[in-house]
Amino acid sequence: MDRIETMMKEFTEVAGVSGFEGDVFALLARHLAPIAGIEKDRLGSCIARLKGGTERPRVMLAAHMDEVGFMVSHFSGSFVRFNTLGGWWYPRMVALPVAIRTSKGEVPGVVATKNPYEMEEEERKGPFKAKDLYIDVGLSGGKSPESLGIRPGDPVAPRFPFTVLNGGRALMAKAWDDRAGCVMLIEVLAALAKVKKLPNAVFGVGTVQEEVGIRGAVTSGFQANPDVCIILEVDIAQDTPGSSEGSPGRLGAGVSICVYDATLIPNAKLRDHLVAVAKRKKIPFQYSAVPFGGTDGGRVHLNAAGVPTIVVAVPARHIHSAAGIICRKDFDNAVKLVTEVVKSLDAKTVAALV
């Protein structure tokens, strides 16, 4: 593995479900501390101001630190019941290896449902619901999960190893949404730190609780108070069997420039500026429109008097599961595009976006 893959392994394998992003914050801060001043807002978002640059315009680059997961709710005998944190498609949860973080350390387990060999035919057809599922931590004899230190409110994260596929062309891991954005944030700020004279002030932000209602974007957006914002995310790849021909988000086709989601209609002038930079620098890109869901941009663009905002993303297959897949080339191109765009955002250019 090269340096970036090593960093990706580090970020994807760490646990950090919504509301419990502390370990991800520590990783992000460790990588950014040599080049940026680190602050934390009162919800726990990481706000890193790049050293150097001017006072304005203020450019916010945001990636959320949390991943989808679960929280312990109560017990059914020796088994753990849970609430979901973030959007889950329930079939992806069955037989999912997980780790419960307790005050005594991690407790491994697996998400399970009623024994299918005991189900009626209609039951086997599903669909399952969260209330039908539980976590098996290997206890028997009526022993309570409390004996292992498990308590209601403990966070639960999927477990899956970072895996290099196709000779390094593709990468598989949990939590690409949005640890891909976190690594992108580090790489972009590292590249910008080498620029002798930046025409702006750059704020690299790792937000919390995006998956449960875009919450950290509100507080960190208030604290960073940007004039323009680029959200670093993953896009929903639609190049798998069953997808419509010509659907966006195809692995290897370039960085995604998102033109619509349910929470954000991006600033059209900023969109056109990104496209012009991509064409000028010969960076492959594709357009993406997602009619559901949203990103931190849905809240940041409403900050104060409004913030021109857009989402730049890496297409990812099977998001919100334990095994998503991205294309390394798409990631590298996303870093290039965001870096070049930030370098071009001087006062005149930003003023012209409104």
> Which residues are catalytic, by number?
210
* Most distant CA pair in the chain, distance: 71
- State how beta strands 309-317 and 228-236 pair: parallel
Q: Which helix (H) or strand (E) holds 296?
A: none
Taking phi first (over 0 means left), then psi (-120 to 50 degrees means alpha), and beta for anything else, what does residue 103 get?
Answer: alpha
CA distances from 171 to 84, 149, 238, 259 (A): 26, 35, 17, 26
Q: Which residues of 274-296 are buried (b: 16+ CB within 10 A; e: fewer)?
A: beebbeeeebebbebebeeebbb
Residues 6 or more apart whose Cβ sits within 8 Å of residue 301? 229, 264, 267, 307, 308, 309
CA distance 219 to 223: 6
